[in-house]
Structure 1
Amino acid sequence: MRVFLSYRREDTAAHAGRLADGLRRRLGRSDVFIDVAGIQAGSEFDAAIAEAIGRSDAVLVVIGPRWLSARDADGRPRLTDPQDYVRREVAGALARSLRVVPVLVGGATLPSGADVPDDLVPLVRRQAVSLDDATWQRDVDALVDVLRGRQAERPRRRAWPLVVGGVLVGAAAATAVVLLLRPDTGGGDGETAVLASCPDADDGWTRLLGPGATASGRVDEGDAGSLDFTVTDVFAQAREDGRWEVVITSELANNLGELREHGDWVYDQLEVDRQPYEQKTCFSVEARYPEPGQRSRGRVGFEVGDDPAKGLRLVVQDSDYSRDFTLTTAASP
């Protein structure tokens, strides 16, 4: 199964890169083409793109919020230009009768036929797949199922991957074709809630880590590099309902060769005395998409049901890689 990713850099560069990584780990590195990695130095761009599309079994058109509205230097919509590279990629794939799948990211919706040039109308008549940041791995699994033609029902709750020695060694098999996926939030509309910014700690909070002490963990992605996390502060506050809120300040260092998103989904779960908790209460970040070599500081809050003084471990992830590390140990009696 060879897959070509079509995307507009100013619209979905980070999402497309993240999707390419996930597909390579599921399908094989050589079977996924994305222009930043798939074109050899000195190659003619147009010829390389045409060749890659011709060798592909499927073309994924990654559509973000600016895919339709992107404009050139003169203020004209890029898609109205017959020479626009995205339009040429998609129109060329449609003309070859390849399998072309619209992939919606960043909350984007599928354009209507009236909004696109005539040669792209067949694209917007096709069933779209939506990838949500909050359920990214599960949604990519479902996309691969779509590409492979598997159709089975997926459980509503996520199955945790097996982590041995801090490295993900297996993932739950994809078991559903669910299009336009949204996580189950308990509400009627199924939309993902937007997290509030994390508060500054005041006298009502208890410091569990810092200042001066830190905790760190590395998500090792082999030859691609790593994401390195350094936690500098951990505060906790008891609530009237008997639960706790724990707010973590973390610095992410992007030591990979491409853009990464520093989103709340990176902080997979917080364990208290080995009991995992997934419910987040807040999130704020300095640089949402750190470039290679860049650092980004963020805060994430978790709601937990047990006293965090019993000891904390944080699980962080990137695509199919995961790592957990100790933040604090149990307080002495």
Structure 2
Amino acid sequence: MPEIFINYRTNDGEHAATTLDNALRARFGDENVYRASRSIAPGDKFDDHLLGNARSSSVLLALIGDRWLGHPRLGIDGDWVTKEILESYRCHRRVIPVLVGRRTERPARNELPDRLMWLADCQTLRYDHQNDESDLKRIGDSLADLVPALAAADRTAAAPPPEEPTAPAGRDTYRTRLDTNNGVVQIGRTHNVNQNGQGANYVAGDQKGNVSHTFGPASPSRATTDE
């Protein structure tokens, strides 16, 4: 079932609904966003479909445009915008009014039908097409913060940083490498212990070549410097 239900009125918030639908599906996946005109398949019983999804979604976005408040059907029994909002509210889902446009104000309690008065007390978000990118991001970020399932599905979440590769040995690389019997230990840029056989030699300084010292029971020790 979808996590986000987009509630809107035709000829008031439908363009904003389409924009939000596209942006939120791109971020959270098609399965997490419900918009009636896209989500109801031919032959489905739209009343059961609408109310069932309003009931089960985690968040209902109630899009409020500049003609939303004065619509004559607002608050009456047969108004689907009202029915979807009330169904979500009765099921203790989060209802977020989204003010569409720069000048749309939050409805006051005395402007709303009695059974929608509580909507005036809900914190709002805003979508203005002139601030399209920032407003869509803010709405998506808010939803991801509120709904764990959306945070898990968020395609814009930062991936964990990759493990840093081991830096190659070089003049400015500090590394230690040890072979128990025959190897090299380098400490810093110019501190080297060269080990071969049963002995070792420590050399400090800026060496262009290798300094080696070999000990063995069958041959005398030998020190060489290669330029």
**TM-score normalised by L of structure 1:** 0.42
Contact 2:101 2:128 in 1 (8 A): yes
Decide which of 46, 65, 80 is 1:85's aligned counterpart: 80
Decide which of 116, 121, 130 is 1:120's aligned counterpart: 116
State the one-letter code of the partner of 1:28.
Answer: G
* Greater than 4 Å deviation, 4+ residue runs: 170-173
State the one-letter code of the partner of 2:39.
Answer: G
Which residue is 1:135 aligned to? 131
Percentage of identical aligned residues: 32
2:162 paired with 1:145: no
State the one-letter code of the partner of 1:128.
Answer: T
State the one-letter code of the partner of 2:66.
Answer: P
Which residue is 1:100 aligned to? 95
SS at match of 1:24: helix
1:143 is displaced (CA, Å) by 1.1
Q: Distance in 2 between matches of 1:93 and 1:57?
A: 9
Which residue is 1:265 aligned to? none
Q: 1 or 2, which has the higher helix percentage?
A: 2
SS at match of 1:102: strand
State the one-letter code of the partner of 1:93.
Answer: S
Q: Distance in 2 between matches of 1:94 and 1:55?
A: 11
Q: Distance in 1 between matches of 2:157 and 2:145?
A: 18
What is the CA RMSD across the aligned residues, in angstroms? 1.9
State the one-letter code of the partner of 1:100.
Answer: V
Q: Distance in 1 between matches of 2:19 and 2:53?
A: 20
Alignment of 1:206-221 (within 5 A): none
Q: Distance in 2 between matches of 1:95 and 1:118?
A: 15
1:171 is displaced (CA, Å) by 6.8
State the one-letter code of the partner of 2:9.
Answer: R
Which residue is 2:191 aligned to? none
- CA deviation string 1:203-243 (max 9, x = no partner): xxxxxxxxxxxxxxxxxxxxxxxxxxxxxxxxxxxxxxxxx
1:172 is displaced (CA, Å) by 9.5
State the one-letter code of the partner of 1:90.
Answer: I
Q: Distance in 2 between matches of 1:54 and 1:81?
A: 19
Q: Distance in 2 between matches of 1:95 and 1:171?
A: 32
Which residue is 2:28 aligned to? 27
SS at match of 1:149: helix
1:105 is displaced (CA, Å) by 0.8
- CA deviation string 1:257-287 (max 9, x = no partner): xxxxxxxxxxxxxxxxxxxxxxxxxxxxxxx
Q: Distance in 2 between matches of 1:171 and 1:44?
A: 35
1:148 is displaced (CA, Å) by 2.2
SS at match of 2:11: helix
**TM-score normalised by L of structure 2:** 0.61
SS at match of 1:111: coil
Q: Report the count of equivalent residues.
A: 148
Q: Which has the larger radius of gyration?
A: 2
Contact 2:27 2:156 in 1 (8 A): no
State the one-letter code of the partner of 2:58.
Answer: D
Contact 2:75 2:116 in 1 (8 A): no
Contact 2:65 2:101 in 1 (8 A): yes
